Structure 1
């Protein structure tokens, strides 16, 4: 079991805790891309074990698990955790690049939610999950994030305080039809202002994300500009309605 302050996964590609040149992780000193070992019984999943997106394809060591979050998982993780701290992921940035046809939109009018896309850096929240809670946390995450395969689960190096760890996170799947790409801010604002899904208006997702980032002391200039554009769309719509 990983002790306090230790990562459950270590990359030895370059003899360091986390390799800056690849996303692979080491299993007892050797790469083993097919194995997942955790305590507890097998967990029922929406994906079969031979699916390439099944979490058994990740290379997790037995022990505690770090999970890097950047959107709704920051303020609504949905799993038990032992510790939460601000964290930094380099090489990817948060973006409203995923169409949501359930939680923040519908099939006929999909909303937008966040994904991690290539380039830049992302400040978010890292959750440390204790060994005994890892199976249930993975089940909850796969039930919530992986039904459509619009995300790609990856183990990536993150900075947690002065520590470098490898954490599980979810990247945007650029090969998926649900990947929206890089939308102009006006186009994204029009979608977010108009759409709603099972969990409420799309704009609430944006507001909650910004509220959590602001509480962390993270000022995401792009998301604040996006919210201002959404409010402008809503105000224009309200004005047209009043003139009828």
Structure 2
């Protein structure tokens, strides 16, 4: 149970970084240990369809991940959690967890985090960059084209000074494919 009478931190590692959709009173670069960012989830709603699934990011086990933490004031926690659950738990491929994260200024806080359920049918695990690119190109869902999702995330990581070689390669390949 996540308390709603105190401020809440939310950890974003994908689209939450560049499109949180909720009001935060503080935002800071942050990292989490024990999980890594991966395009490991088939998206059949937001960035694809059941006929042409796209791929979205999940926090998969192992490694570490840099992202953004958002602090939500206590009076807005209930509404923010409702919004996040509607957005992130549509097909239950994510599991909501309170996990420790490290803020760039050295503070350690607990944050609501959405971790991939590796037993869910939408979990595809580790794909090669080429397989990932093939799945992303041409996929479109209710939230828009899958390439836009990848490109926006790569741009935000670049803006933050975060090096993610896989997303950088994909962004470059997607840019080339759209220029052709």
Between the aligned partners of 1:111 and 1:118, the Cα distance in structure 2 is 21
1:113 counterpart = 2:41: no
Which one scores higher on RCO, CA 8 angstroms, separation ≥ 6? 2
Q: Which residue number corresponds to residue 86 of structure 2?
A: 143
Partner of 1:175: 119
Gaps of 5+ in 2: none
1:185 maps to which residue?
129
Instruction: Give the CA deviation at 1:231.
Output: 4.4
Deviations 1:93-112 (A, max 9, x none): 10000111111111111000
TM-score normalised to structure 2 length: 0.94
2:109 aligned with 1:165:
yes
Determine if the alignment matches structure 1 residue 76 to structure 2 residue 19.
yes
Q: Note the C-alpha offset of 1:36.
A: 4.3
The SS at the match of 1:170 is strand
Cα contact 1:189–1:233 (8 A) shared by 2? no
CA distance in 1, matches of 2:161, 2:176: 25
Number of equivalences: 179
**Higher strand fraction: Structure 1 or Structure 2?**
2
Corresponding residue SS for 1:88:
strand
Write out per-residue CA displacement over residues 72-117 of structure 1, whole angstroms, 9 at most, x where no aligned residue. Answer: 0111111111110000111111000011111111111100000000
TM-score (norm 1): 0.70
The root-mean-square deviation of aligned C-alpha atoms, in Å, is 1.4
Bigger CA radius of gyration: 1
- Give the match for residue 76 of structure 2: 133
Alpha-carbon separation, structure 1, partners of 2:54 and 2:2: 34
